[in-house]
Structures are given as structure tokens and as C-alpha cells.
Amino acid sequence: MGAQDLIASTCKATPNVRLCVSTLRSNPKSAHADVGGLAILMVDATKAMATQTLQQIKTLKGSTPQLRKAIDACTFAYKMILEVDIPEAYKALPSNPNAHHCANGLKLFNSPATGLNQVVHDLSAVATSIIRMLL
């Protein structure tokens, strides 16, 4: 089975086929990866997006005092994603409730972090699906 076929068949078993396919095909390492390799690439993508989202959240802290409580909760949630969930993901990727928790805190505000937060959540769900294929 070719790399493109493996990506397509793997991604069909995930909750967001389009995100899965675009994320994996954008990474040149996917051309030579098996399903386990694809899972690692998806966790790597989740980590990169979570890092970017945390940076965006931190920039909001000084500029939006009325969001301080929500921003503090999101900062904590994303630190958990990066310090606990991502390392665990390389072992067997548990479901990732932290991005969802952050979204609840910011949903009432028009925040640039909201879109990034959704991508982290979606990437986590895709990575979880791929990891489960290996178990």
C-alpha cells in the first residue's frame, strides 16, 4: 500500500478525515511512515498547534484584563496538554479534555485563540483515533 493510500485509509477511521489527510500530507515524513509513524506525526502536529495556541493565549493576558480568569484557566489547560497529555500521547494518547475545557472559558469572547483551540481539539481527536488503531 502506498503512502497516500495508507494516509487515506487511516484518516477514514478518524473523526475529521479532511484535517487528518491535510495534516499528514503536509508533512514529508508521512511518505515513509506506517500507521504508528502517522500517529506520531499527528501527535507532533497537535503539540505544535498547542504550543502556538498557548503563545496566543499568553499575548491576550496583558491586553484583555476582563478575560484574566478565562486566560489563566486556558494557560493552565494548555500547560497540562503540553506537559502531561502530549508526553502521554507518545505512550498511548489518552483523550484530551483540556482543549475543550479552555474553549468553554473563552466561548463568550471573540478571541483569536478560539480557532486555534478548536484545531488543537480536532488534532487530538484524530491522533487518538490513529493511536487506537495500534492498540
In CATH, what number is assigned to the domain containing residue 95? 1.20.140.40
For residue 101, give the C-alpha cell. Answer: 475545557
Number of Cβ atoms within 10 Å of the Cβ of 48: 12
Q: pLDDT (tens digit, 9 = 90+) per residue, 56-96?
A: 888 887 777 788 888 899 899 999 999 998 988 877 643 44
**Chain mean pLDDT for the chain:** 81
Q: pLDDT (tens digit, 9 = 90+) per residue, 1-19?
A: 566 799 999 999 999 999 9
- List all residues 6 or more positions away from 107 whose beta carbon is below 8 Å from its beta carbon: 114
Percentage of residues in the chain having pLDDT higher than 90: 39
- List all residues 6 or more positions away from 101 whose beta carbon is below 8 Å from its beta carbon: 73, 77
Domain that includes residue 15, residue range: 3-134
What is the count of structural domains for the chain? Answer: 1
Q: Grid coordinates 479532511 are at which residue? A: 18
C-beta of residue 49 within 8 angstroms of C-beta of residue 119: yes
Whole-number Å distance between alpha carbons of 84 and 22? 26
